[in-house]
Structure 1
């Protein structure tokens, strides 16, 4: 018979994916109206701190008999910030009024404009980059704008190591500060100890140790999560000190306040396990 710990942990894993899908569906419904000309496959991306992220924006091009799409103007702005993030017009970048925050960190994909790709590459993401961006497109086929909400976090897959019957995991980059919890292959919650070490930039290194004996050929699950990112790692012990691991990331990119209010009653039991 399954223990309460098994039920709680198993239900938590299922709930994470169900709620993530539900949130994505709600966002798709909310943002679908009036956006026939412009569209985005991801309206709420999570940028990994200090890495590059693409803000998706595409439109329906209109080509002439020679297959040319005509002049396209693309402007990216950030709500609440003066100047532009990036502007492309007259077949060339126009960065005269670019906000200095984005100097040498942004670009489009000019060769893809003819096919309707107006996405923005934002390089070396910073914490202050978080916010709402506007993609504004003017083309022979139409005009329009669409909002993209960029969230910023730091996240990395943990590496596992086994020494004797001790199993540890280390993840180098997490922000905001996460929680961590372990389970065995049946979903039974396991006792563990987790330490957090933050550097001068406020990035946390996560060190988590399983306090119960780990056995060969068994699969263990480690969940590291904050309000933006959930990493679910599965490691099967092979007898080697370096343990192969598979990690899947899920992103909670609805409003964190909305997400907390929706999930708090359901995940209360699991939250108690993480504290």
Structure 2
């Protein structure tokens, strides 16, 4: 019974700590590469789920059984996401997002499960350079 109370206590503490530390803010550049940071206590068999929060939770990237699991990935992210696989076992769950699109802007959740427990991180992504494609379309010369 004491163990259960301890687990519940640490679950509540972790939940409120996550809420109190706030979201990480990341600014990405349109059509470039961007890294969304996430870390967890090192483990030999972690489970990592990245989701894009919005009207619905959209699966961005998953990793478990020691490999990427992207068959249920949202079509918008297909072929544009990866983890730093060599660093996953040391606690790095950061997401590499390539070819950043305006639709990538928004709030992301990094959910990690390992021997040390489950934790969530939230990342607010803004996309800079939104006018670049428009400027190319109207052919404005460089000044």
Matches of 2:86 and 2:102, distance apart in 1: 30
Structure exhibiting the larger radius of gyration computed from Cα positions: 1
Assess, with a 3 A threshold, how the Cα gap between structure 1 residues 205 and 103 changes in structure 2: closer, same or farther.
farther
Q: Does 1:147 align with 2:128?
A: no
Structure 1 residue 49 corresponds to structure 2 residue 30: yes
Q: Is the 8 A contact 2:109 2:123 kept in 1?
A: yes
TM-fit CA distance, 1:198 = 2.1
Determine which of 22, 34, 46 is the counterpart of 2:17: 34
1:198 maps to which residue?
135
Q: What is the count of residue pairs matched by the alignment?
A: 124
Between the aligned partners of 1:134 and 1:93, the Cα distance in structure 2 is 17
In structure 1, what is the Cα distance between the partners aligned to 2:139 and 2:87?
35
CA-atom RMSD in angstroms: 2.7
1:70 aligned to 2:44?
A: yes
* Partner SS for 2:103: helix
Please say if residues 83 and 97 of structure 1, whose CA atoms lie closer than 8 Å, have aligned partners that are also in contact: no
Cα distance in 2 between the residues matched to 1:205 and 1:152: 23
- Please state whether the residue corresponding to 2:51 is helix, strand or coil: strand
Distance change (3 Å), C-alpha of 1:141 and 1:94: same
Separation in 2, partners of 1:203, 1:108: 37
Q: Which has the higher contact order (CA 8 A, sep 6+)?
A: 2
- 1:58 counterpart SS class: coil
Distance 2:112 2:81 in 1: 17
Judge conservation of contact 2:83–2:95 (CA < 8 Å) in 1: yes
Deviations 1:182-240 (A, max 9, x none): xxxxxxxxxxxxxxx9222x897763xxxxxxxxxxxxxxxxxxxxxxxxxxxxxxxxx
